[in-house]
Amino acid sequence: MFILGIECTAHTFGIGIVSDTGKVLANIIDSYTSPEAGMIPHKVAEHHRLVAEEVLQKAFQQAQQNVHAKHFSWDDISFVAYSAGPGLDPSLLAGYEKAKEWSKKYQKKLIGVNHPAAHLSIGKIIHKLKDPCYLYVSGVNTQVIVQANGKYHVLGETLDNGLGNMLDKFGRLLGLGFPAGPKIEELAKKGKYVELPYAVKGMDVSFSGILTKVEQLFKQKKASAEDLCFSLQETCFAMMTEVTERAMAHAEKKELLLVGGVGANQRFCTMLDIMCKERGAKFFKVPLELVRDNGAMIAWEGFLRKDTSGDIEINPHWRINEV
């Protein structure tokens, strides 16, 4: 059985095709970019509508090569999964309209899925994990999540900015462009530590005070960009490592899965890996092509939800604990 998944929550329009064992046959993405480095919602939606057919054809071609078949088309697809939320209204709608159009035309059942849950599920199947603690750190999201009785529980999260967005905001001040995370990681390699506020509140974290502090220190020329990048990373990653360790101890998890774009940061991975080793647990992260927003993860989540979900339209504010 093959499932086609459509990703459309934000800047990326993606189509993936996976098998019922979690094998990825195709994963094509086309992301909206703009020279002004911003996202104008209706332009993003316009982009998605424009590229949809082309991305679909490329996905079929890739699947055809991967299964060594003469032909791969709608006849081979059993279900159409789509990102129902959370996300930007216009993007979600553009994706949903395409999903609905194709499902009608080719008579396939529609399965609306939760985008963050898809990020977690694809990592779990790729590494064949049993019951991990999830650390989801992207632009928008910063959450420590576990699963119990089939439901997701958010044990800790940011009280204000997502860590990635916070790094991007500081990067804007430094003139690093978007996304700033990778450039901050480079600069940090040449930095030394300056003291910053450490903001862990129970199981939650807060980044806004830290951001204000690094912005002040930079504007007042009290510390170099390199030192601030280094200190920002050390402080924020230590905070995340601390709450993740507490979550793993409390929920008795022996596996940690890091998902989200900030997971590309090598220093962050090293800190989490050390923490896991020290407590006899194992650390995993998702390969780059599956960690970014993509259709394959939506297809796999769709397979997992095929009996319980359906055409649920869109839900721009759908939290993972409501899945």
> By C-beta, is 98 or 292 nearer to ligand ATP?
292
Taking the complex as a whole, how short is the minimal distance between the CB of residue 261 and Fe ion, in angstroms? 8
Nearer to Fe ion, 16 or 191 (CB): 16
Per-residue mark of binding to Fe ion, 254-293 (x: CB under 5 A): ---------------------------------------x
Q: Which of residues 71-130 bind ligand ATP (CB under 6 A)?
A: 119
- Map residues 147-166 to x or -, x wherever contact with ligand ATP holds by CB under 6 A: -----------------xx-
| Residue 192 buriedness (CB in 10 A; 0-12 / 13-18 / 19+) | exposed
The answer to whether 175 touches 184, Cβ cutoff 8 Å, is: no
Residue 5 interacts with ligand ATP (CB under 6 A): yes or no: no
Are 291 and 134 contacting, i.e. CB atoms less than 8 angstroms apart? no
**179 touching ligand ATP, by CB under 6 A:** yes
Asked whether the beta carbons of 204 and 156 are under 8 A apart, the reply is yes
> Using CA atoms, how far apart are residues 202 and 104, in angstroms rounded to an integer?
49
Please work out, in degrees rounded to the nearest 5, the angle formed at the alpha carbon of residue 161 by the alpha carbons of 157 and 228. 110
Q: Which does 142 bind (CB under 5 to 8 A by kind): Fe ion, ligand ATP, none?
A: none
* Beta carbons within 10 angstroms of residue 183's beta carbon: 18
Instruction: Specify the residue, 120 or 304, whose C-beta has the smaller distance to ligand ATP.
Output: 120
Question: Cβ 182 to ligand ATP, closest distance in Å?
Answer: 4
182-201 positions binding ligand ATP, by CB under 6 A: 182, 185
Q: Which entry of Fe ion, ligand ATP, none binds 236, CB below 5 to 8 A by partner kind?
A: none
Instruction: Of 223, 217, 162, give the one whose Cα is nearest residue 188.
Output: 223
Site residues for Fe ion, window 291-320 (CB under 5 A)?
293
CA atoms within 13 A on the CB side of 208: 5
Alpha carbon 254 to its chain's center? 22
Of 132 and 162, the one with the shorter C-beta distance to ligand ATP is: 162
Select the binding partner of residue 182 from ligand ATP, Fe ion, none (C-beta < 5 to 8 A, by kind).
ligand ATP
Residue 52 vs 167, nearer CB to ligand ATP? 167
User: How are strands ordered across the β-sheet holding 282-285?
Assistant: 151-157, 142-148, 133-137, 255-259, 282-285
**Closer CB to ligand ATP, 285 or 292, in the complex:** 292
Of 9, 282, 294, 230, residue with least CA distance to 141: 9
Site for ligand ATP in 281-300 (CB under 6 A): 292-293
Interaction of residue 264 with ligand ATP, rule CB under 6 A: yes
**Coil, helix or strand for 240?**
helix
Q: How far is CA 279 from the centre of its chain?
A: 26
Tell me which residues touch Fe ion (CB under 5 A).
Answer: 293
Tell me which residues touch ligand ATP (CB under 6 A).
Answer: 9-10, 119, 138-141, 164-165, 167-168, 179-182, 185, 260-262, 264-265, 292-293
